[in-house]
Amino acid sequence: MPLPGAALPAIVVLVSGRGTNLRALVAAELPCRIAAVISNRPEAAALAFAREQGIATAIVDHVGFASRAAFEHELTTQIDLHTPTLVVLAGFMRIFSPGFVAHYAGRLLNIHPSLLPAYPGLHTHRRALADGVRVHGCTVHFVTDALDSGPIIVQAAVPVHDDDNEDALSARVLAQEHRLYPQAVRWYLERRLDLAEGRIRVVDAPHPRRPGTRTADALIWPALD
């Protein structure tokens, strides 16, 4: 058990919008300090929440930069001020170039609102409904150069209801995002994510039939601790 006052590892959370995943990360009381929340959008509600929590914030507005490289250079500077162990994308909406990804190799996580590799990119719920899929969900993965294609850590599958619209389906998925992301970050901090041959194994994941690991409304795998 860490001694009181012992320095906890720092994480930086990158946001663009509402910030409900940020709220879930804060609520989880993870064994880390959220050293900063950084947004590319000045108006992001996530920033207001971070300020309320006394978390340092920064805005790196991509609109003010001549190139993606210049934007990413400033973003890297702002992130690295906090020397984070881990950088977490929580509804962050700008694609990173290979140089940025290389700088944070192995310490950059994203949550994506689909069962990857289905529906990479944007408007995932709309596309899933248009295709008539019966199962949808969300994925936490490491970020690599290839968009939404890095090693998968954990996924939650939810049913698509006959009368679903985009709002109803996205809310059902979002509720699971809020369970997955804190768990994935915790596993990372506990050094329980092993990468071999492009696949992640969660060390000491709960046994499938352990009581309490099933949920009524989603299949989450690996099971949460």
Tokens of 138: 């969300």
Number of helices (H) and strands (E) in the chain: give both, helices first: 6, 10
Q: Got the DSSP string for 114-126?
A: S-TTSS-SS-HHH
- CA–CA distance from 173 to each of 110, 136, 212 (Å)? 15, 8, 20
95 binds ligand NHR (CB under 6 A): yes
- Contact between 59 and ligand NHR by CB under 6 A: the answer reads no
Q: Which of 82, 112, 125, 136 is catalytic?
A: 112
Q: Does 72 bind ligand GAR (CB under 6 A)?
A: no
Q: How far is the CB of 142 from ligand GAR (least distance, A)?
A: 15
Nearest distance, CB of residue 96 and ligand GAR, angstroms:
12
- The nearest distance, CB 57 to ligand NHR, in angstroms, is 19
Q: Which residues contact 62 (CB under 8 A, 6 or more apart)?
A: 40, 68, 71, 94
222 CB neighbour count, 10 Å cutoff: 20
Stretch that binds ligand GAR, among 66-74, 105-113, 128-136, 207-215 (CB under 6 A): 105-113
Q: Pull the structure tokens for residue 225.
A: 């601790």
Q: Give the integer Cα–Cα distance in Å for 139 and 208.
A: 19
Position with the least CB separation from ligand GAR: 91
Binding test (CB under 6 A) with ligand NHR, winner from 34, 75, 87, 101: 101
Separation CA 13–CA 191 (nearest Å)? 19
State yes or no: is 112 an active-site residue: yes
Return the residues of window 147-166 that contact ligand NHR according to CB under 6 A. Answer: 147-148, 150
Contact flag: residue 111 with ligand GAR (CB under 6 A):
yes
User: Do 150 and 143 contact (CB within 8 A), yes or no?
Assistant: yes
Site of interaction with ligand NHR (CB under 6 A)? 89, 92-96, 101, 110, 112, 121-122, 143, 145, 147-148, 150
Catalytically active residues are: 112
Site of interaction with ligand GAR (CB under 6 A)? 17-21, 46, 90-91, 93, 111-113, 174, 177
